[in-house]
Structure 1
Amino acid sequence: MLFTALAGGMGWGIRGQYGHETGAMLAGLLVALVLVYLFGYHLSSFSAARAVALATVAIGFGGSMTYGQTLGLTQDAPLIGNMAALRWGLLGTFIKGSIWIGYFGLFLGLGLGGKKYTMVEMALALIVAIFLLYLGIFVLNEPFDPASKKLPSIYFSDHWYWEPEETLKPRREQWGGLLFALCWLIAYTGFIKKDLLARNMVLWGMLAGGLGFFLGQCVQAYHAWNVDWFQVSWLASFEPNINWWNMMEITFGAIFGCVMGPFGLWCNRHHIATNSLEEKISLEYKTELSLISFPYCSTCNLEFYVFFHV
């Protein structure tokens, strides 16, 4: 618990210096390395590296989601005291955090489990996931026409509903697409392939991400709502020097790592593959390269979609 929490807290704290997909991958790498070291020590170096690589790339998917304005609903000065905006913003952080770490748990489970996937199976599953990515954006994240003040009905960023007189710059959200794709991958791995480790780890990942992002933002929002108290409390001398955004990130990462380690992977350790140290590579290098390149292609697809529709 301690080591995974420290890895997550440090990784997510550093992540804030980079942001987006690559920043998230740094935190994912540190947590995955600790988890595989603790629970996959019996695996070959190839199997361990594959699990870490899959989890690291997967956590980058969530980095494509916008969330700065979602956090703003809970702490921006004009909204301080607005409990409805606070609740809505925290709900958004829980949903986005769940999706974010859900991908990490899913691909970590794929890498550590003993279930075999053929190249054709993986390709078909991921092609369907890309289709559902765009479908989810269309269903849950449209319409998006800020010039006409037309925004999705479920929208967790700046909205004139909360600040009708303000000049806002709403951001395009794509959490709906990532959610649709994740649900399909859960169904495919858990019910079609019956990959118990992948299925269980994605659920633990969603819990870890939801709680981590929610509670982390609670820390930052509490400060924003109670600045006067902090300035006269025993924290008064420290308060001006504390980066409360980093406090949110560190809390998020620490909870994410804490839940995924002793609760997520430890509870499912009996589903981890029992490969011997002499395991041989069963996939050709072309297949490995194809699997590695796919997440990057998916991220590029999403980014180009957002670019051409803003």
Structure 2
Amino acid sequence: MNKNQALHILMVGMTLGTAWAVRGHFGHEQGAAWAGGIATLGLILVSRRKDWYSKMLPTVLAASVGWGITGMISYGLVVGYGMSNNYPNALYGLTMLFAIGTLFGVLGGGLTGLSLESSKERKVEWGVLFAQMGMGGLIVYGLLIQQLEWLMTPPRSEAWAICLGAALAFLWYTARKGFPATTRISLITGIGTGFGFAFGNFLQIVGMVAEIPFNMWNVMEYSIGFFGGIALAYGIFTSVWPQTVSPVKAWENRVAFVLVFLVIPFVVFQQS
């Protein structure tokens, strides 16, 4: 990895960090989709790969979907556990924040990488993939939440289990269909966002104890995006990619443009 790559990785980290911090003001699925899309757009631009430019819009859309899915996870109570002065509660909170953050990166980074790795020789069956992710989410939610009652954030939503099932189904698909770069990127990004979430909660606590006059919640959000963006960019820039990319049809670009630049911003504006 040369100095230019290191600079580009830092730029992507700062982009996702800033976008995720801004996303903290309106939250939810549309906010996560917006932030993930902006970071992916920046990543492709700094990559200077002309073959990726041709599939930029569908890739940004795939990234928006991946990051956006995780926006359903409720983590406010878990942040509170992490701020506890009781060691078991604090450990539980930080561990669960790492787990939630990992889901952010696995799905967000994974779908980004999968769109880039799709080639003429090995195309992604998007319909099959999303069907399997949906079924995986329902199965894991039904097993962990409804049957075993393993609740992370009672009485709030336990949608983390849906994302866990979707993430497991996603990784199973990429391993089974032969997308090694995507599997690698997904796991690396997951580690980055997981660390960023737990470390961000720690920074939030330090800021509150030190009575720093700053929005420390935004610091935590920035940490998620910054470390997640660095991990995402590192995984993508250091992976081996196919020589040919899958051709993008004109209608795919048009649909992706409408969804990314019109629908998602409209939903963000309407819900804010």
* Pairing partner for 1:27 from 1, 21, 35: 35
The percentage of aligned residue pairs carrying the same residue is 24
Aligned-partner Cα distance in 1 for 2:48–2:108? 16
Residue of structure 2 aligned with 1:66, choices 62, 67, 74: 74
Separation (CA, whole Å) in 2 of partners of 1:109 and 1:273: 15
- Structure 1 residue corresponding to 2:182, chosen from 198, 203, 209: 198
Change (3 A) 1:124 1:114: closer
Distance 1:259 1:203, change over 3 A: same
Measure the CA separation in 2 of the matches of 1:252 and 1:12. Answer: 7
C-alpha displacement of 1:45: 3.7
On the 8 A contact 2:58/2:253 being kept in 1, the answer is no
In the alignment of these two chains, the number of paired residues is 249
Structure with bigger helix share is 2
Shift of 1:82: 0.6
Q: Supply the distance in 1 between the matched residues of 2:163 and 2:35 (Cα, whole angstroms).
A: 20
Structure 2 equivalent of residue 304 of structure 1: none
Distance 2:97 2:85 in 1: 19
TM-score between the two structures when normalised by the length of structure 1: 0.72
- On the 8 A contact 1:39/1:265 being kept in 2, the answer is no
Residue 128 of structure 1, CA deviation: 2.3
**Which runs of 5 or more residues in structure 2 are unaligned?**
1-8, 260-272
- Aligned pairs for 1:1-310 within 5 A: 1-39=9-47, 41-43=49-51, 45-75=53-83, 80-116=84-120, 121-142=125-146, 152-153=149-150, 155-158=151-154, 170-190=155-175, 192-224=176-208, 227=209, 230-231=210-211, 239=212, 241-261=213-233, 263-268=234-239, 270-271=240-241, 273-275=243-245, 280-281=247-248, 283=249, 285=251
The 3-state SS of whatever aligns with 1:43 is: helix
Q: How far apart are 1:284 and its partner, in Å?
A: 7.6
Q: RMSD across aligned C-alpha pairs, in angstroms?
A: 2.7
Superposed displacement of residue 73, structure 1: 1.0
1:300 aligns with: none
CA distance in 2, matches of 1:124, 1:46: 24
Quick one: distance in 1 between partners of 2:252 and 2:23? 32
Q: Supply the distance in 2 between the matched residues of 1:96 and 1:85 (Cα, whole angstroms).
A: 16
Contact 2:105 2:187 in 1 (8 A): no
TM-score (norm 2): 0.82
How far is the alpha carbon of 1:31 from its aligned partner? 1.5
Q: Which amino acid aligns with 2:41?
A: L
Confirm or deny: 8 A CA contact 2:34 2:64 kept in the other structure: yes
Q: Are 1:73 and 1:86, in contact at CA under 8 Å, matched by a contact in 2?
A: yes
Structure 1 gaps of 5+ residues are: 144-150, 159-169, 232-238, 294-310
Give the direction of change, closer, same or farther, for the CA distance of 1:21–1:125 in structure 2 (3 Å limit).
same
Does the Cα contact within 8 Å between 1:204 and 1:260 map onto a contact in 2? yes
Distance 2:66 2:110 in 1: 8
What secondary structure, in the 3-state scheme, does the structure 2 residue paired with 1:17 have?
coil
